[in-house]
Amino acid sequence: MSKSDQQVVFSPSDVGVKNGKLFGLPFEYEDSQVIVLPVPWEVTVSYRTGTAQGPQAILDASTQVDLFDPVWPDVWQAGFYMLPISQEWQQKNVKLRELAKACIAKLEAGVATDDSELLLHQGEVNAVSSELNDWVERQAQSHLSLGKTVGVVGGDHSVPLGLIRALATRYESFGVLHIDAHADLRRGYEGFQYSHASIMENVLHLPHVSRLTQVGIRDYCDEEEQTAREAGDRVRFFSMRALRKRSFHGEPWARTCQHIVETLPQQVYISFDIDGLDPSLCPETGTPVPGGLTWDEALFLLDLVVESGRQIIGFDLVEVSGNAEWDAIVGARLLLRLCLLAAQSHPRV
């Protein structure tokens, strides 16, 4: 809704308008505080595909989301705007996915990891993945320079690295709240330096990230456990098993969330893989895992981050399948909450 256009009348209580904009909002880019960058990329996914279509599916479902929130009423007026989905990266995703799929098939068939053709194709995937990271970083920098708060919507979990790198040029120190079923601490999983399963290992290479707090983790390997242990106090690990154990011993969720939030510094980046939720909420995500946070548990935790006085400097929402309406419906509502919280904690100057 351009400030110069006084003819636009918008009521959040009216029927959701399919105007091609996020949540059916009338805002233009210049009037929006939170800018959402869609990244249609799932080249290195290890199991099921569909997340590259996630941004479009979320956009399509977003007009059915009510904007009123009893905790954060009227915050939507800060303006939320999703950028156009890049056709160039959509095309590159299709091409590179086939190459990565062939590499994974070879590894699963027992081909030696030093096979020359395998190494060549892995190198191609790594080179274009690096280009994607650079593109996301440039995009993020351009919006951050205008005072916008930026969130990334994927796509697989590899896609937000460029945004996190951009934030590392602007903040001396910040923490990452990582909600996920997986630790994502593998080193170059399947030969892909920027694998979806390696995002947090790559994030730990950024010295500006002073704390990585991982919540809901319930599927991880020996290598990841070792990486977390070697990181010492820099990584705080709240596995799903540990969270449920606290609950079974009578600890209220509110108190558990206080423990989690207390591990975070003042500036916080939120990385939300939708498979961190119970799979009934995201059955078509790429690698669903039994267990996980309930919807209300997740939102309570997110709200508490802002209620504690901490500032959300950016966020991502990833691994939402574009193959099922239900997953997109949940994803759209989760994206709204992330936008609300980012706007609430990082108001315009």
Report domain extents, the chain. Answer: 22-345
**Contact call for residues 140 and 233 (beta carbons, < 8 A):** no
49 Cβ partners below 8 Å, 6+ apart?
Answer: 42, 97, 286
- CA pair distance 223, 246, nearest whole angstrom: 26
Architecture of domain 22-345: 3-Layer(aba) Sandwich (3.40)
What pLDDT is stored for residue 20 in this prediction? 78
Return d(Cα 210, Cα 264) in angstroms, integer: 9
Q: pTM of the full predicted structure? A: 0.95
Would you tell me the crossing angle of helices 325-345 and 54-61 to the nearest 10 degrees? Answer: 80
Q: What is the pLDDT of residue 16?
A: 66
List Cα–Cα distances, 335 to 80, 182, 286, 318, in angstroms: 10, 20, 18, 10
**Intervals of the chain under pLDDT 50:** 1, 3-7, 349
CB 268 within 8 A of CB 177: yes
pLDDT at position 158 = 97
Q: What is the pLDDT of residue 202?
A: 97
pLDDT, tens only, 101-151:
999 999 999 999 999 999 999 999 999 999 999 999 999 999 999 999 999
